[in-house]
Structure 1
Amino acid sequence: MSKIATAAPIPAVSRPALIAGLAIAIAGAVLFSTKAVVAKLLYRYHIDAITLIAFRMLFSLPFFAAVAVWKMRTEAPLASADRWRLLGLGLVGYYLSSFLDFLGLQYISVGLERLILFLTPTFVLMITSLFLKRRISRVEWLALGLSYTGIVLVFAHDLGAGAGSTVTGSLLVLGSAVTYAIYLLGSGEMVRRIGSLRLVSYAMCVSSVACILQFFLLRPASLLIQPAPVYWLSLVNGIFCTIFPVFMTMVAVQRIGATTASQAGMIGPVSTLFLGFAILGEPITSVQLAGTALVLVGIYMLSLKK
């Protein structure tokens, strides 16, 4: 999922600045999408999701902790209520969402996983409609219809091909998308008050501690001893697929605005599809391409709404 928070419109930027911002947003989206491919490679070494996510956070926690400490020293302390909110956001938005995502990747293709996660804006829309009584417009209904038709196409294709337990994996990743949508809704007001950098660093620290604690509670410490490729792939997962895309997306939002950055991030599902083909040998079919196109068109239509 691309880590984009709602931001106020920014002034018009020059063409070189726009190109640079788009490049950063696209690179961040591709790197973040690559985590699914890296996870599939790690699963070849017979580790489970609990071990995988613990290694990911072990490598990324020092950086997020350093940013969090810097923010604590340079900015006013958080109110007690905000601390509890951050605890909840970190557990729901990064811990639970990431855990469900990596669990689901054990059963489905990286292409289907990325498309399901890309439905997060549609869940934000539906949650606001159900609980905040926000009316869904005709254009938004059309966007929802296109997006879910695309998912059904790809899901039916993978189900027919017998690609693992597609239903189980899809439901797990669907849960990941829903929990991340809840995080986005809960963080919208906080990010305006305390800033995206502070919010992300604190929430990621909470998530990292939860993932590492979960490992030591449920798995023997001896599982920390793994073949060298597990460490290298986990390093890539923690730094290039977690730290870099989180902060690259934030920089892109500051330069070109949240809407443009989110539209640039639509390259994510496409890049995952082709990376899965190139690295994992997952086939690319016309049905997958058609389903991906429908999802992208639907999400693009939603991104144009104010």
Structure 2
Amino acid sequence: MSNAADVAPRPALPLTGYALGAAGAILFASKGIIIKLAYAEGIDPETLLALRMALSLPFYLVIGGLALMRMRAKGEALPAAKVVVQSVFVGALGYWFSSYADFLGLQYISASFERLILYTYPLFVVLFGALLFGQPIRMKALWAFAVAYGGLALIFAEHFSTDSGPTVNGTFFVGLAAISFALYQLMARQLLKNIGSALFTCIAMISASLVSLAQFVMVRPLEALHVSSHGFALAVMIAIGATVLPSFFMNAALKRISAQANSMISTVSPVATMVLAALVLGESASPTELAGAALVMVSIGWFTFSDSRRRG
């Protein structure tokens, strides 16, 4: 008879990983809702973005400093100046330009429509990877792209029929945000390999923060920072609740569950945005919009899951 000590314990289900992944996806989904509330307080996109980046900046300064200290303690070489400069520019693209375009778009379209457009950025990663970086493109990506943008076209047509100007403007800016974030993802991959995820993220976020603050100084008076207490609370929620915390939650989830599982959990994000938009902003969706949303979520969810299985 074998001893109980000789029997290897069965690993527990990674429920913590799933919970962290879902929490991160939902917090990311709340960004558009909070931005809409801040706009209702009279805060403009440049001021809101500057507040968001300024409030999150200390966290990334501390994390970046700790990452450098660990590198020194291990005797590792510090990143080359060329890599740092590249990280600065790539970070400005992904976390300033893309965010600013998204903030501009949310002035014109609903938070739910914005989240669905942003949700298609993995397809742009595939397309630009093939066009600019010589990466192979698979037929399933083209099918997913066609179905997803068929769904977006349904929603666009629904909004365009009643409010054409804002619909075009909002779709343009948020589409630009999705495209620029896809380019950021492609350019960031090699840099992540060179200097590591933590340090690269901190350099990128610090760069984006400085650009956002410089932009604010150039286009807005300093008095614009004197927002209401409720407006400032919303800025804190965007900076901490929809930026810093979800980034940590998603990274923690990736350590506990597979990339495939994390990909599927990410499909919670647009659903959570639609629910929050209905509860908090009073947004409603017609049957046509719901059908379009379903096409987008199913096609992107299927593509992301199958692609992560291939890479895993």
* One-letter amino acid of the structure 2 residue matched with residue 100 of structure 1: A
**Structure 1 equivalent of residue 266 of structure 2:** 265
Residue 66 of structure 1: which of 62, 69, 76 is its match? Answer: 62
Alignment of 1:1-306 (within 5 A): 14-17=11-14, 19-75=15-71, 76-162=77-163, 165-303=166-304, 304-305=306-307, 306=310
Q: Tell me how far 1:135 sits from its aligned partner.
A: 4.1
Distance 1:157 1:44 in 2: 24
Q: Tell me how far 1:208 sits from its aligned partner.
A: 0.9
Distance 2:227 2:242 in 1: 20
* One-letter amino acid of the structure 1 residue matched with residue 18 of structure 2: L
* One-letter amino acid of the structure 1 residue matched with residue 143 of structure 2: L
Contact kept in structure 2, 1:147 and 1:298, CA below 8 Å: yes
Distance 1:277 1:162 in 2: 20
Distance 1:132 1:250 in 2: 26
**Structure 1 equivalent of residue 5 of structure 2:** none
* One-letter amino acid of the structure 2 residue matched with residue 46 of structure 1: G
Deviates more, 1:149-158 or 1:29-38: 149-158
Q: Tell me how far 1:46 sits from its aligned partner.
A: 1.6
Q: Tell me how far 1:285 sits from its aligned partner.
A: 2.1
Contact kept in structure 2, 1:109 and 1:163, CA below 8 Å: no
Larger Rg: 2
* One-letter amino acid of the structure 2 residue matched with residue 37 of structure 1: I
Contact kept in structure 1, 2:43 and 2:227, CA below 8 Å: no
- C-alpha change, 1:163 and 1:256, in structure 2 (3 Å) is farther
* One-letter amino acid of the structure 2 residue matched with residue 102 of structure 1: F
Unaligned runs of 5+ in 2: 1-9, 72-76
Distance 2:106 2:43 in 1: 13
Show CA shifts across 1:93-112 (max 9, x none): 10100000001000000011
* One-letter amino acid of the structure 2 residue matched with residue 73 of structure 1: M
- C-alpha change, 1:164 and 1:111, in structure 2 (3 Å) is farther
- Percent identity, aligned pairs only, is 34
Matched position secondary structure for 1:77: coil
Deviates more, 1:112-121 or 1:63-72: 63-72
Q: Tell me how far 1:139 sits from its aligned partner.
A: 2.1
Q: Tell me how far 1:191 sits from its aligned partner.
A: 1.7
- C-alpha change, 1:163 and 1:35, in structure 2 (3 Å) is farther
Deviates more, 1:246-255 or 1:231-240: 246-255
Distance 1:269 1:142 in 2: 20
Contact kept in structure 1, 2:84 and 2:203, CA below 8 Å: no
**Structure 1 equivalent of residue 6 of structure 2:** none
Contact kept in structure 2, 1:196 and 1:250, CA below 8 Å: no
Matched position secondary structure for 1:165: helix
* One-letter amino acid of the structure 2 residue matched with residue 74 of structure 1: R
TM-score, normalisation: structure 2: 0.90
Distance 2:106 2:259 in 1: 28
- After superposition, the CA RMSD in angstroms is 1.6
Distance 2:285 2:240 in 1: 28
Contact kept in structure 1, 2:151 and 2:295, CA below 8 Å: yes
**Structure 2 equivalent of residue 8 of structure 1:** none
Matched position secondary structure for 2:13: helix
Matched position secondary structure for 1:16: coil
Show CA shifts across 1:110-141 (max 9, x none): 01100110010010111012123444333222
Distance 2:85 2:261 in 1: 32
Show CA shifts across 1:270-301 (max 9, x none): 11011111101111222222111111121122
- C-alpha change, 1:15 and 1:159, in structure 2 (3 Å) is farther
Q: Tell me how far 1:197 sits from its aligned partner.
A: 1.7
Distance 2:63 2:138 in 1: 41
Q: Tell me how far 1:15 sits from its aligned partner.
A: 4.7
Contact kept in structure 2, 1:107 and 1:163, CA below 8 Å: no
* One-letter amino acid of the structure 2 residue matched with residue 83 of structure 1: V
Q: Tell me how far 1:14 sits from its aligned partner.
A: 4.0
Distance 1:204 1:135 in 2: 30
